[in-house]
Amino acid sequence: MTLVIGALTIGLILSLLSMGVWISFRVLRYCDITVDGSITLGASVVAILLVKGWSPWTATLVATLAGAAAGLVTGILHTRFKIQELLAGILVMTALYSVNLRVMGRSNVPLLDVETLASPMARLITRCSSNSDTLGVCGWQVPVQDAAMLVTVLLVTVAVALVIRWFLLTHIGTALRATGDNPQMVRAQGVNHRTMVVFGLASANGLVGMSGALLAQYQGFADVQMGIGMMVWGLASIIIGEALAGRTTPGLALCGAIMGTILFRLLVAIALRWGLNPNDLKMVTALFVFAALVLPDSVKSAMHRFFKRQHHA
């Protein structure tokens, strides 16, 4: 049960990251590696602010804005200074490594006994369950802290997903989606496609920053290394999500991104439980994304060749 709750919570937190990656990778069709840096940026900003005693909501908001600023820089490097999209992201990601160390002042900030986003919910649950520090759910004893975190994260993620879905259906959101699809058409319809790219990358990395902020509050520390491979992680989740929910409408795609992230996290938790060496995790994730990107096409062409041979025989 702890495993499931942990996987659900982390899955929901990383859903924010996946939705961010979905906006850059699928909506804008922009391969944005800034993500690896901006998730850590979100975590380090929130950690330092919480240690200084800021309110968790304000701290999370500031972390989100910090992530958005990182995306803004990548977008400007790409559109204004004509730097290739991948390189623009790499530059910002590299610079963010130093920024994160500067923000935290060291490579790791623990968050012990600080007020987090889940604290109000924990107090509420404790009051309702006559002051015990565990909670009975279907016969299982769940620590109140964990339950509170799960509920809070669920509320935040669902709210954010609804806002994104609404936004993508507005006039600006429609223009944003079209920008990734056909920038020439978007310009011919009177939209500044560069502004759209910058804006899209800023929102995507804002989500990633928020994800980092929640992750730090959940695991109780921020670490300068925690962002490595996160973009690929997001990709893997999106690909699973697309297999589950399709990608025909923004609503379905967002649903898919959330479900895919949770499922991927569950799979990883189970694999680790079965003895997968945590050191191999990134390799496995990368191989998974590779397979998911390549297999559908090669299976199709193999089938095609197979049937053609049958046909000739």
Buried b (16+ CB within 10 A) or exposed e, 43-79: bbbbbbbbbeebebeebbbbbbbbbbbbbbbbbbbbb
**Shortest CB 246 distance to another protein, Å:** 12
**Shortest CB 255 distance to another protein, Å:** 18
Nearer to another protein, 188 or 313 (CB): 188
**Shortest CB 187 distance to another protein, Å:** 5
Nearer to another protein, 69 or 178 (CB): 178
> In 3D, which of 69, 3, 56 has the Cα closest to residue 203?
69
Nearer to another protein, 199 or 264 (CB): 199
**Shortest CB 151 distance to another protein, Å:** 29
Tokens encoding 247: 């990608």
Nearer to another protein, 185 or 299 (CB): 185
> Quick check: 118 and 145 in contact, CB under 8 A?
yes
**Which residues contact another protein by CB under 8 A?**
167, 169-175, 177-178, 181-182, 184-193, 248
Nearer to another protein, 23 or 175 (CB): 175
**Shortest CB 28 distance to another protein, Å:** 13
Contacts 24+ apart (CB under 8 A), 48-51: 48/103, 48/104, 48/105, 48/109, 48/222, 50/111, 50/114, 50/115, 50/116, 50/217, 51/109, 51/111, 51/114
